[in-house]
Structure 1
Amino acid sequence: MDWDKLRIFHAVADAGSLTHAGDVLHLSQSAVSRQIRSLEESLNTTLFHRHARGLILTEQGELLFDATRAMNKRLETAAARIRDSEEEVFGEIKVTTTTAFGTLWLAPRLAKLYELYPDLKIDLMLEERVLDLPMREADVAIRMKEPSQADLIRKRLMGIHMRLYATEAYIAANGTPATVEEIGKHRLICQNPTSFQVSAGKSLVEYLLSYDVPHLFTVNNYFGVLQAVRGDLGIGVLPDYVVEDFPNIVRVLPEVESNEVPVFLAFPEELRQSKRIAAFRDFVQDEVIAHRRRQRALEEAAE
């Protein structure tokens, strides 16, 4: 159905007159009349009863007017929301990140974001697979390496390291290894080297396993490693960002750590002007800055 003809039909039905509709549309009466006649022919029906005092909708015309009235209202609402979005933040954001980062770092902080923007809706997708942002499988990605996809705006958020941690209770009961060679006296909790993980984390695990480690517990994600460490099961390989949220977990063998893993935030170029994307990006960046400050304070206190 021709949208332009529907627009003209709606104006005529609303005004009840070809002349008045023409004035609103800035068209001549004959042009309006031709469009209505063409629409009636395409639908093979009569939309108006014509008489000297104006036009009255037929039953079929009433049905079509109900439809165009609903369409017009939705278009007006959409236009108003578009105008409002220049000042307000609302709508859905599909965010993808790894299970560990999303579960242990991002999700616990989102309450602050919702306090700022209660009309925002976050759809958080936690998986190791890299989603296709240009194809809009997600709006924003937070990943442990720089995205390689084209046409993305990317921002380096921070660098993280995989380190060794245990609870204070575990250390009190089992002692602290003085050297990496003594790791074999403890149960090592880590991701299996065959599990999907960043190469820096895999390299650290392989390095630790090159020593005699008779007691081993492996999990396929860092959330499981964290839960085992919190249960006083042994010494775990964890990303350093977990420490501030679990103060009873302390670092073991501070000279042992992975190479730095960069954390990037990325989104499609086409969303550059999106207010909700900007709000999410700024929120994450502010939280990262606050996280770095707290992390430095913890490291200085431990020295």
Structure 2
Amino acid sequence: MPMLPGDDGWYLNGCGTFSLMAITQYDAAPADYVDRTVRRPSIKIENGESSRRPDSVSVEAALSIAIDKSGKTHELGITMRTPGEDEELVIGFLHSEGVIESADCFSSVVTSDDRVVVKLNESTDFDPEELTRRTTMTSSCGICGKDSISNLLHIHGPELSNSFTITHDAVGKAVSGLRAMQSAFDLTGGTHACGRASADGEIIDVREDIGRHNAMDKLIGVAIISDKTPIGEEAVVVSGRASFELVQKALKAGFPTMVSVGAPSSLAVDLANEHGMTLISFANEHRMTVYSGSNRVC
């Protein structure tokens, strides 16, 4: 069975997987965390040459979410995320789900280990049956486990600004600015990013996560906590494709425009058109494609 050279247990077997020896050896060593990344053993193979080295990968861990209403705790489920900004993540998620509209809807957020409990005010309506998730959310799917398609398509958001406009140059500037602020991606190549951008393309805030919907929830969550929602006169910029769930979350937050580096899905385009959102995809400094709301592009 062919093996890559090495006398310390770091090798690949014939199936291309790490041996148990390599895993045991690494686990015995102290973890080297850099922000939201962790080092893992790897073997780089290029042009027939191999080299052994630890590599940075994005951390993915489970987060339990619960709501406290009138002294009763309701478990909502588990999401996989990159640790950090958990409070913002959960607040953004609850906003996207229609549980809260602003910071006035909750009195406290308690974070302990990998668990977040949000205490709702008595005046905040909450239907646990409607929100209960039957399956574990993953970092790639923010709407997995919904009980029915009607929940998926149920969207109520603020009126979108028609005065906000953005130029092609500003779009390119925003995309470049977002990329320049993706520190976790620079280390791992494994995170998505969402950012708020002004009409002139200046990046106001950025959040990263291994899940694109988590990055959006974190971005919206910090805006809610800072009392800056509904957004109004800003665009949201996403590092990957424009999916239905991202458009849905952006609409709920009041973003009149979404800019994506990647392609849109058909449902994302349809949803943006239905709600009068400007959707710009395949965006960079040299080109972009406008799928809806061209009135805001000048």
TM-score (norm 1): 0.29
- Which has the larger strand fraction? 2
Which protein is richer in helix relative to its size? 1
> Whose relative contact order is higher, 1 or 2, with alpha carbons under 8 Å and at least 6 apart?
1
Larger radius of gyration: 1
TM-score by length of 2: 0.29
